[in-house]
Chains A and B, each alone.
Chain A
Amino acid sequence: MGLLQIDDPTAAPRPIGIDLGTTHSLIAYVPSIGPATTVRDCDDDALVPSVVHYRADGSVSVGKEAAKLARELPRDTIVSVKRFMGRGADDPETRRLGPYRFATDEGPVVKFAVAGERVVTPVEVSAEILRALKDQAEDEIGDIGGVVVTVPAYFDDAQRQATKDAGKLAGLEVLRLLNEPTAAALAYGLDSKNNGTFAVYDLGGGTFDITILALDDGVFQVRSTGGDSQLGGDDMDRALAEKLLGEMGHADPAAAPPELVRIALESARAIKHALTDAPEVEAEIERPGGEPLRRRVTREEFDALIQSLLARTGTACRRALRDAELSTCDIDGVILVGGSTRVPAVRSYVAELFGQQPLTSIDPDQVVAVGAAIQADILAGESPNDDVLLLDVLPLSLGIEAMGGVVEKILPRNTAIPAAAAQVFTTYADNQTGFDLHVLQGEREMAEDCRSLARFTLNGIPPMPAGMARLEVRFSVDADGLLDVSASEQTTGIEQHVEVKPSYGLSDEEVERMLLDAYEHAEHDMTARALREQRVEAQRILDATAQALERDAALLEEGERETIEAAMEAVHAAAAGDDHRVVQSRIEDLDRIGKPFAGRRMDRSIQQALSGQKLGDVERETAGATGIEPHLGPGEES
């Protein structure tokens, strides 16, 4: 830090962006003056290893300190936890080469057994990383506000939900889950100010994403996305490690001692890094209680080991292009993201695939965090990049299991989000009174091949002949890419409504309990925190309302200004007090009173957009109208 930070207690909390990576995590923010920047530790490192170590006394360390213990205490030190997010204990991914001890072999959630007889879930491990990042950010920039956390574009609903829960558990206000390639494009696009169609090739430690997007005067519109949430640099390490273990007499790498597995994985990674600059390396792999293995590894040998991994990325790229109805010659630039794109074989593969040299001018490790920080800044409403907008898509199709185990797709992949769609189903047996619904995500035709997100039963359907009931299932996906399902039965005037939040196994109560536990252990005073949050919210609403009154006075009806201003005064007075519930209730009052005015403003901006007028800064504030209420059914209130 070159500048002296002056702690201003009245300064608004600063929004931050977090890249929660498989191997490393980073924090970035947009300072009051100057471009987005990453938070660095005392060694000037921006990368925090995504490693958590659990000690027998119940204490936890994160980052570099934890990484040092990974070799010595492999079972109590969780690395690459991102690979386990939202996955079941019996998931094949969970069972791959690694040194961990699992508390259970079945069930919807992975549980690591670590020192101190503790059992932790991936959500809790990720929350430890996020908490450490938050502390680090607070040390450097003071009070932090809302957070944008990035996720691989190809993450399914369970993985996204798990990430959001981890944020909640760490005490963060998660403004948005942002897709990593979109974040990278944002950082890149704002930097180069180019319009055109870009491919973002993002090969991280554990995930691969390909995103095709169009940039047009500040609007980043994702055309298609694809990838593999189980493919990354870790797999390169694993391929080499398995070969090395084989040469050390462990033909079955899974049966090798955990310490040796960890050593082999670390050596493989070191060799991979060395091969980025050198055509060959002399490696020495330690063997506890034995002679080290000395071996020369050439780039050719390594490249051959990872060929099949690269081919898998190629398949995903071709599919994404087809989904976008584009071919490689339509691509104006290819952006490389993720540490694994430093591997020379990856670069040459991408160059050949797209027929052009990829762009690498921004550090592939930092570009995602920087993009997340910019988006956080935009969402907090403090950004000079007012005209920037990210339009993203649903990465994987969502559907319902129909008769015969076939998946009926309700929202196909690459649908622009937020999105909603409904489908009507009926009964197949006479007098059937219950309806089992199975919510799935994936591209395969059969339910058993897709990711199961939730199961629920709608009961109480009045007895009637088969095929008579009308069951409407409605899917809504928000801007985070998170799904909400509701179902209603609409015959003979009887209507039922069931709200279902898909769950990968953690219920809301469980998350709540974990949160309470976390607060017990931390020094957080929940009431003080709630009051602070409500005050920030109050200020935000007051500013926005004042601005709207000033700009769109013409849309006010008679006497409306006076009522709104009275409600504003009430919010102001409540915020000066110390009861967060009162502040919240006054904010709700103001919201209700100002709603017709807000509606008129929004409708006016729709009219302006339709008439082809470019929306400038002034109109961006919206206008309102008639005809909005009918669109706000109960299903859309969430």
Chain B
Amino acid sequence: MDPFATLGLPRRYELDRGELEARYRELQKALHPDRHAGASASQRRMSLARAVEVNDAYRALKDDLRRAEALLSLYGGKAEPEGGAADPEFLMEVMELRESLGDAKAAGDLARVRQLADKVEAMRGAARTTLVERFGDGAADPEPVALAEASALVSRLKYFKRFLDEVSVIEEEALG
């Protein structure tokens, strides 16, 4: 399934969030089961199946990591397995960051936790910017070299996500 086609959006990494939301709303206005509550059984089933598909596409595109994964799989690529071919320098950096996070958590140093999170968020932002270029504007398929790079970047996004999820848990616990 191509979530970009389902929502009628160009096949590229850069996302116009407002456009996504508007398309999503218009499609659900046409498809949501509540719009077909009085219709025949088969029409209700059709509407349900289509609404599920639109929700799935919406979920895939809305999320930065899932959108990148969707593009990779559309172009026949795959995210590199974790710890596999990833750049050792990068892995080292992530390990150090995680260690620092562990220490900050143990020390209850929330300011340090936030500082680390800001750093990772900046790294994530940079990775996203590069991804926009590598995936191109959807007019033509990306070159194999660009795709390989994108694949490595998607793996990085996963590391960042896990890190930031952990930060959320720490911050949430601290707030009670």
A interface vs B, CB < 8 Å? 175-176, 216, 219, 221, 311, 314-315, 318-319, 322, 378-381, 387, 389-391, 415-421, 476, 478-479, 540-541, 543-545, 587-588, 590-592, 594-595, 598-599, 602, 605-606, 608-615, 619-620, 622, 628, 631-632, 636-637
CB-contacts of B154-176 with A (<8 A): 168, 172, 175-176
Sorted nearest first, the 4 A-B pairs with minimum C-beta distance are A610-B8, A605-B30, A591-B40, A609-B26
The reply to whether B48 and A636 form a contact with Cβ atoms under 8 Å apart is: yes
Q: Is the CB of A216 within 8 A of B34?
A: no
Chain B residues within 8 Å of A417, by CB: 55
The reply to whether B49 and A615 contact each other, CB–CB distance below 8 Å, is: no
Residue of B nearest to A615 (CB): B29
Q: How far is the CB of A306 from chain B (nearest CB, A)?
A: 15
> Does B145 count as interface, using CB distance less than 8 angstroms?
no
Output the nearest chain B residue to A477 by Cβ-Cβ distance: B52
Please name 13 pairs of A and B residues whose Cβ atoms are closer than 8 Å in the assembled complex, sorted by A: A216-B25, A391-B25, A416-B59, A420-B52, A540-B38, A544-B40, A594-B40, A602-B47, A602-B50, A609-B23, A609-B27, A615-B26, A622-B47
Interface of chain B, main secondary structure = helix
Known: A219-B28, A609-B30. A588 touches B37 (CB 8 A): no
Bound Cα distance from A587 to B165, whole angstroms: 51
Q: Does B58 contact A (CB under 8 A)?
A: yes
Binding site for A on B (CB under 8 A): 7-8, 21-23, 25-43, 45-53, 55-56, 58-59, 168, 172, 175-176
> Which residues of chain A are near B168, meaning CB under 8 Å?
322
| B38 pairs with A631, CB closer than 8 A | no
Among B22, B39, B53: residue with most chain A CB under 10 A: B39
Who on chain A is nearest to B36 by CB?
A: A622
Contacts beyond the supplied A378-B34, A610-B27, A632-B49: 12 A-B pairs with Cβ under 8 Å: A315-B172, A319-B172, A381-B38, A418-B51, A478-B48, A479-B33, A544-B38, A595-B42, A595-B43, A598-B43, A609-B27, A613-B26
Bound-complex Cα distance A588 to B55 (A): 29
**Residue numbers in B under 8 Å from A587 (CB-CB):** 40
B26 to chain A, nearest CB (A): 4
Residue of A544, A545, A602 with most partner-chain B CB within 10 A: A602
Are B43 and A622 in contact (CB-based, < 8 A)?
Answer: yes
Q: Which residues of A contact B47 (CB under 8 A)?
A: 602, 622
CB-CB under 8 A for A416 and B55, given A599-B46, A622-B36, A636-B45: yes
Q: Which residues of A contact B36 (CB under 8 A)?
A: 622
A631 touches B40 (CB 8 A): no
Contacts of A221 in B (CB 8 A): 25
Q: How far is the CA of A390 from the CA of B28 in the complex (A)?
A: 10
Contacts of B46 in A (CB 8 A): 598-599, 602, 628, 632
Closest to B47 in A: A602
Q: How far is the CA of A505 from the CA of B42 in the complex (A)?
A: 31
Task: Evaluate contact between A391 and B175: CB separation under 8 angstroms.
Answer: no
Q: Knowing A378-B34, A389-B35 are in contact, say whether A476-B52 is a contact too (CB < 8 A).
A: yes
Known: A415-B55, A608-B30. A632 touches B45 (CB 8 A): yes
Chain B: CB-nearest residue to A630? B49
Residues of B with C-beta under 8 A to A608: 30
In angstroms, Cα B17 to Cα A607, docked, is 21
Minimal beta-carbon separation of B58 from chain A (angstroms): 6
Whether A606 lies near B58 (C-beta < 8 A) is no
Q: Which residue of A lies closest to B51 (CB)?
A: A418
Q: How far is the CA of A415 from the CA of B56 in the complex (A)?
A: 9
